[in-house]
Structure 1
Amino acid sequence: MTWNLWGRFGDNWQRRQRAIAATIRTQRPEFVALQETWAVGDRRQADLLGAELGLSSAFALSRMPGDPDPGVRLGLAVLSRYPLLGVERCPLSDETVALRAEIRLGHRSLHFLTTCLDWEEDHEDQRLQQVDGLLELVSKLSVSGDMVVVAGDLNAPADRPEIKRLLGVLHDCGQQLGPTYSSGNPYLGRGEWLEDHRIDYILTALATPEEPRRCRSWLAGLDEDHGKPPSDHYAVVSDIPLAS
């Protein structure tokens, strides 16, 4: 599962937080990638969600939109139903990073990566640089036969050069899904360049070509907050068979 949680934006982030937790609980994912997840001092949204849902958690600061409250910092997080064997903050460019969580499954490791690429329309060159860094990381992690899943808000539609470069190497589990940043979402600012596009992805680099073909994906986070979505992004959930 991957979900951009929209930090503490909106008129009632505490209510949205309760709906976010309820949505994740209903979906019962084994691994969750979070973007725009908040931290205030030593208090982290990911840790609160992990404690409530019985999941391990990890957090890393990364480049995100600024919260009006200077005490609130935004970043990336991973939640896991399994213990985290290792956690690493991997620079992609400047302040943009990927968060890597390693989980041991059978005889191999799964490297679950999340990131949030630059969101500005004129930052295509920066996103291409970040994609190159991400692919270099995936290549390094895959060389020993380990499994790699990349899940996150990539801030570009699938037909853009930066995403095409990624999809030349990784399998897109949600290619049949509709927009994840939708004008049907009341929190979306109108006229944004990413409006009505799918910009949230779950991508796999697995051992055999048969595994990705069996992926099944769907959207969540549509109306769980009293008929409203809990975030300005919809969540993507994929059922991926992982051979151990």
Structure 2
Amino acid sequence: MTWNVWGRFGDRWLQRQRAIIDTVRGQRPDFVALQETWRSDGQAQTGLLGFELGMASAFAPSRMPQDPDPDVHLGLGILSRFPLRKVEQHTLSTGTVALRAEIRLGTDSLHFITSCLDWEEDHQQERLAQASSLAALVSDLRAGGDDVIVAGDLNAPPGGPELEPLLAVLEDCWQPQMHDGVTYSSRNPYLGKGEWLEDHRIDYILADGDLAPIGSRLAGFDEDHGRPPSDHYAVVTDVPVA
């Protein structure tokens, strides 16, 4: 599962957080990648979610976006029903961050990575460089014989040239024959109107080719008293990793 949870933006972030917990619990994922998750006063949202859901957690600060409150830091998070064997923060091109957790599954290891690429429309070259750095990391990890999954907010629609480096080493788990999978939808009341990524799928789960997805779906539509818990919908994919 991957989800951009929109930090503490808006005036309902406490209610949204409760709805985020309920949504994740309802999906019962083994692994969750989070973007725009927050940390403040020594307390991380990932730790709170992990406690509520009975999952191990990790957090890494990122350079964007920034919360208006200087005491609130936004970043990346990972939740896992399995113990995290190793957690590392990687700096990609232009200073963008990726968070990697190595998870032991029997005698094998899975590397679960999340990142959030630049969102600005005129940052296509920056996104391409960031995706290339991320693809190089994936290739290094795959050279050791382990499986790799990248899950995150890539801020590019399907077919965008920025995604080509990642799609050269991993496969998109979405199954388009089901539906278009729009994760940044104009139907979402929290979405700023007229944004260039509006009504596109910009959140992805990418996996090794031998991890054939069984099914994909969206989540996070109306769990907050009829409202979505975030300005993005979550992506959930069933992948046989063990």
Q: Give the TM-score range, shorter chain.
A: over 0.9
Give 1:33 deviation, angstroms: 0.1
Q: 2:187 aligns with which of 165, 170, 184?
A: 184
Secondary structure of the residue aligned to 1:58 is strand
Q: Does 1:9 align with 2:9?
A: yes
Between the two proteins, the alignment pairs up a number of residues equal to: 239
Give 1:175 deviation, angstroms: 4.3
Query: Which residue in 2 is equivalent to 1:221?
Result: 220
The letter for the 2-side match of 1:58 is A
In 2, the alpha carbon distance for the partners of 1:193 and 1:57 equals 33
Identity of aligned residues (%): 66
Q: Retained in 1: the 8 A contact 2:94–2:126? A: no
Secondary structure of the residue aligned to 2:84 is coil
Secondary structure of the residue aligned to 2:16 is helix
Query: Which residue in 2 is equivalent to 1:81?
Result: 81
Q: Does 1:198 align with 2:197?
A: no
Give 1:191 deviation, angstroms: 0.5
Secondary structure of the residue aligned to 2:104 is strand
Secondary structure of the residue aligned to 1:137 is helix
Alignment of 1:135-174 (within 5 A): 135-174=135-174
Give 1:167 deviation, angstroms: 1.6
CA deviations on 1:24-66 (whole Å, 9 max, x unpaired) are 0110100000000000031100000001110000000112222
Q: CA RMSD in A?
A: 1.1
Where structure 2 has 5 or more consecutive residues not aligned to the other structure, the ranges are: none
The letter for the 2-side match of 1:130 is Q
Q: Retained in 2: the 8 A contact 1:171–1:204? A: yes
Q: Retained in 2: the 8 A contact 1:85–1:103? A: yes
Where structure 1 has 5 or more consecutive residues not aligned to the other structure, the ranges are: none
In 2, the alpha carbon distance for the partners of 1:103 and 1:23 equals 23
So what's the TM-score if we normalise by structure 2? 0.96
Q: Retained in 2: the 8 A contact 1:158–1:164? A: no
Secondary structure of the residue aligned to 1:224 is coil
Query: Which residue in 1 is equivalent to 2:232?
Result: 233
In 2, the alpha carbon distance for the partners of 1:97 and 1:22 equals 28
Secondary structure of the residue aligned to 1:157 is coil
In 2, the alpha carbon distance for the partners of 1:234 and 1:110 equals 25
Dislocated runs of 4+, deviation >2 Å: none
Alignment of 1:115-130 (within 5 A): 115-130=115-130
